Chains A and B, each alone.
Chain A
Amino acid sequence: MKLRTWFLLPAWLSLVLLFAVPFAIVLAYSFLTRGVYGGIELPWTAESYRRLFDPLYLAILWRSFAMALAATALCLLLAFPAALFISRAARHKNLYLQLVMLPFWTSFLVRTYAWIFLLRDTGLFNTALQALGITHGPLPLLYNDGAVLLGLVYGYLPFMVLPIYATLDRLDPALVEAAADLGARPLATVWRIVVPLSRPGIVAGSVLVFIPCLGAYLTPDLLGGGRTVMVGNLVQNQFTTARDWPFGAAVSIALMALVALVLVVFLRRQSEPLA
Chain B
Amino acid sequence: MKRWLGLYAVAFFAFLHLPLLTLTVFSFNSSRFTKWEHFSLVWYRAIFRDPQILQGAWNSVIIALWATVLSTVIGTLCAYGLWKRNSRTLTGALYLSLVTPEIVSGIALLALFQWAFRWLHWQLGLYTVVLAHIAFCIAYVVIVVSARLRTLSPALEEAAMDLGANPWQAFWYVTLPALAPGILAAALLALTVSFDDYVITSMVAGVDSETLPMVIYAMARRGASPVINAISAIVTLVFGVLILISERVRER
Listed by A's residue number, 30 A-B pairs whose Cβ atoms lie within 8 Å are: A4-B85, A5-B81, A10-B74, A12-B90, A14-B74, A15-B93, A18-B112, A19-B105, A22-B111, A78-B15, A81-B8, A82-B8, A85-B9, A85-B12, A99-B13, A109-B216, A113-B224, A114-B19, A117-B26, A117-B34, A118-B19, A120-B224, A214-B101, A215-B102, A216-B101, A235-B104, A259-B99, A259-B100, A263-B99, A275-B143
Known: A19-B93, A114-B19. 13 other contacts (CB 8 A): A8-B77, A11-B74, A12-B90, A15-B94, A19-B105, A22-B111, A25-B115, A82-B12, A88-B2, A103-B16, A232-B103, A256-B101, A275-B143
User: Which residues of B in the span 151-177 have a Cβ within 8 Å of any Cβ on A?
Assistant: 167-168, 171
**Chain A 11-38 per-residue mask, 1 if CB under 8 angstroms from chain B, else 0:** 1101100111111011001000000000
Task: Decide: B220 and A116 in contact? CB cutoff 8 A.
Answer: yes
Interface size grouping (class) on chain B: 35 or more
Q: Give the segment of A48-56, A166-174, A245-253 that binds chain B.
A: A245-253
Task: Choose among A14, A113, A212, A275 the residue that contacts B134 (Cβ–Cβ < 8 A).
Answer: A14
- Whether the Cβ atoms of A106 and B101 lie closer than 8 Å is no
- Residues of B within 8 Å of A211, CB to CB, are 99, 101
A118 neighbours in B (Cβ, 8 Å): 19, 22
Q: Is the CB of A235 within 8 A of B17?
A: no
Q: Assess whether A15 is in contact with B97, with CB atoms less than 8 Å apart.
A: yes
Residue contact B90 to A11, C-beta cutoff 8 Å: yes
Least CB separation from B13: chain A residue: A99
Is B12 within 8 A of A114, CB to CB?
no
Q: Report the interface size class on chain A.
A: 35 or more
Point out the residues of chain A lying under 8 angstroms from B203, CB to CB.
236, 239
Give per-residue flags for A227-249: 1 if the beta carbon is below 8 A from chain B beta carbons, else 0.
Answer: 00000100110010000010011
User: Are A235 and B168 neighbours in the complex by a CB distance under 8 Å?
Assistant: no
Given known contacts A124-B34, A249-B111, is B19 in contact with A111 (CB within 8 Å)? yes
Known A-B contacts A107-B239, A109-B198; the reply to A18 vs B34 at CB < 8 A is no
Tell which of B22, B97, B224 touches A116, judged by Cβ atoms closer than 8 Å: B224
Contacts of B80 in A (CB 8 A): 7
In the complex, chain B residues whose CB is within 8 Å of the CB of A18: 109, 112, 131-132, 134-135
- Chain A residues at the B interface, C-beta cutoff of 8 Å: 2-8, 10-12, 14-15, 18-23, 25-26, 29, 78, 81-82, 84-86, 88, 96, 98-100, 102-103, 105-118, 120, 122-124, 127, 154, 157, 186-187, 211-212, 214-218, 222, 232, 235-236, 239, 245, 248-249, 252, 255-256, 259, 263, 275
A81 to B107, Cβ gap below 8 A? no
A109 to B213: give the CA distance in the assembly, Å.
7
Beta-carbon nearest neighbor of A262 in chain B: B99
Q: Note all chain A residues with C-beta closer than 8 A to B243.
A: 102, 105
Stretch at the interface among B44-52, B119-127, B179-187, B228-236: B228-236
Contacts of B82 in A (CB 8 A): 8
Select B77's contact among A7, A20, A109, beta carbons within 8 Å: A7
Tell me the B residues contacting A by CB distance below 8 Å: 1-2, 5-6, 8-9, 12-13, 15-17, 19-20, 22-23, 26, 33-35, 73-75, 77-78, 80-82, 84-85, 87, 90, 93-94, 96-97, 99-112, 115, 131-132, 134-135, 138, 142-143, 147, 167-168, 171, 192, 195-196, 198-199, 203, 213, 216-217, 220-221, 223-224, 228-229, 232, 235-236, 239-240, 243, 247
Q: What 6 A-B pairs come out closest when comparing CB atoms?
A: A215-B101, A11-B78, A22-B108, A18-B135, A7-B81, A114-B19
Q: Which residues of B contact A23 (CB under 8 A)?
A: 108
Contact B112 A117 (CB under 8 A): no
Contact of A124 among B22, B97, B138 (CB under 8 A): B22
CB nearest neighbor in A for B107: A239
Contact of A10 among B5, B78, B168, B171 (CB under 8 A): B78
Bound complex: CA A21 to CA B26 (Å)? 46
Q: With A99-B16, A107-B232, A123-B224 in contact, do A235 and B107 touch (Cβ < 8 Å)?
A: yes
Is the CB–CB distance between A117 and B103 below 8 Å?
A: no
B residues within 8 A CB of A255? Answer: 101, 104
Residue in A closest to B231 when the chains form the complex, CB atoms: A110
